[in-house]
């Protein structure tokens, strides 16, 4: 349960950090084909296309975050936790429009997230 909490906490934290005050942050959960699918969506600053391929690397921060706080570890931790459980994460983003993260995790009796 701790890893799932860490995944969701980091995703929500980024949604809130990079979105304007008062904007909408969306979260959804569905199940399909023995998998749980979590999705977060914000209306924040978005991730530049050149940064998306590096977003899960430790200490990488997108080029448009300016002086917003952070060390660039959150998404790396999310990716490692998802990988440990055989899951996947997908990113869709557009500058000034926002970002959608979709996390897919398999159901398993041995899954201790």
- Residue ranges covered by each domain of the chain: 2-19+33-106
β-pair type (26-32, 88-94):
unpaired
Cα gap 56→34, rounded to integer Å: 25
Q: Are 50 and 43 in contact (CB under 8 A)?
A: no
pLDDT of residue 113: 44
For the record, the structure tokens of 49 come out as: 């296309």
pLDDT of residue 46: 96
pLDDT of residue 2: 79
pLDDT of residue 74: 93
Kindly give the confidence (pLDDT) of every residue in the chain, 113 residues in length, as a single tens digit, with 9 standing for 90 and above.
678 899 999 999 999 999 999 999 999 999 999 999 999 999 999 999 999 999 999 999 999 998 888 989 999 999 999 999 899 999 999 999 999 999 999 987 454 44
**2-19+33-106: CATH architecture:** 2-Layer Sandwich (3.30)
Cα gap 19→3, rounded to integer Å: 24
């Amino acid at each position: 349960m701790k890893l799932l909490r860490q995944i969701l906490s980091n995703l929500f934290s980024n949604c809130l950090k990079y979105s304007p005050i008062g904007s909408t942050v969306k979260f959804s959960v569905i199940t399909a084909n023995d998998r749980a699918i979590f999705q977060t969506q914000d209306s924040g600053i978005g991730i530049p296309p050149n940064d998306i391929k590096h977003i899960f690397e430790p200490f990488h921060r997108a080029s448009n975050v300016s002086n917003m706080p952070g060390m660039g570890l959150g998404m790396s931790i999310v990716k490692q936790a998802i990988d440990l459980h055989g899951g996947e994460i997908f990113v869709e983003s557009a500058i000034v429009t926002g970002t959608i993260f979709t996390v897919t995790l398999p159901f398993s009796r041995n899954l201790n997230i």
